[in-house]
Amino acid sequence: MRALTFQGIKDVACTEAPDPTLEQPTDAIVRVELSAICGSDLHVYRGAEAGLDPGTVLGHEFAGEVLEVGSAVEGIAPGDRVVAPFSTSCGACPACERGLSSRCEVGQLFGWVEGGQGLHGGQAELVRVPLAGTSLVKVKDGRDPAALFAGDVMSTGMYLAALGGVGPGDRVAVIGCGPVGLMAVVAALDMGAAEVFALDLLEDRLELARSFGATPVQASDPAQLPAAVDASLEAVGSPSSTRLAFELLRPGGTLAAAGVHVEPQLAFSPGEAYDKNLTYRAGRSPARSLLEPALELAARSGVDRIVSHRIPLAEAAHGYRIFDGRLDGATKVLLEP
Give strand pairing partners of 61. Answer: 36
Binding segment toward Zn ion, per CB under 5 A, in 81-89, 113-121, 225-233, 269-277:
81-89
Shortest gap between Cβ of 31 and Zn ion (angstroms)?
Answer: 21
Q: Which is nearer to Zn ion, 104 or 217 (CB)?
A: 104
| Spatial distance between the Cα atoms of 330 and 7, rounded to a whole number of angstroms | 23
From 27, 68, 80, 152, residue interacting with Zn ion (rule: CB under 5 A): 152
Q: Does residue 90 interact with Zn ion by CB under 5 A?
A: yes
Q: Does residue 290 interact with Zn ion by CB under 5 A?
A: no
| Spatial distance between the Cα atoms of 29 and 243, rounded to a whole number of angstroms | 43
Q: Does residue 93 interact with Zn ion by CB under 5 A?
A: yes
| Spatial distance between the Cα atoms of 228 and 207, rounded to a whole number of angstroms | 24
Q: Which residues of 141-172 are buried (b: 16+ CB within 10 A; e: fewer)?
A: ebebbbbbbbbbbbbbbbbbbbbbbbeeebbb
Q: Does residue 58 interact with Zn ion by CB under 5 A?
A: no
Q: Does residue 38 interact with Zn ion by CB under 5 A?
A: yes
Q: Does residue 294 interact with Zn ion by CB under 5 A?
A: no
Binding segment toward Zn ion, per CB under 5 A, in 90-98, 159-167, 188-196, 298-306:
90-98
From 5, 26, 35, 40, residue interacting with Zn ion (rule: CB under 5 A): 40
Considering CB under 5 A, how many residues would be counted as binding Zn ion? 8
Q: Residue 331: CB partners within 8 Å, gap ≥ 6?
A: 178, 179, 204, 205, 208, 306, 307, 308
Q: Does residue 202 interact with Zn ion by CB under 5 A?
A: no
| Spatial distance between the Cα atoms of 328 and 57, rounded to a whole number of angstroms | 25
Secondary structure (DSSP) of 192-212: T-SEEEEEES-HHHHHHHHHT
Q: Which is nearer to Zn ion, 102 or 254 (CB)?
A: 102
Give strand pairing partners of 6. Answer: 12
From 66, 76, 82, 104, residue interacting with Zn ion (rule: CB under 5 A): 104
**Which residues of this protein are in contact with Zn ion, per CB under 5 A?**
38, 40, 89-90, 93, 96, 104, 152
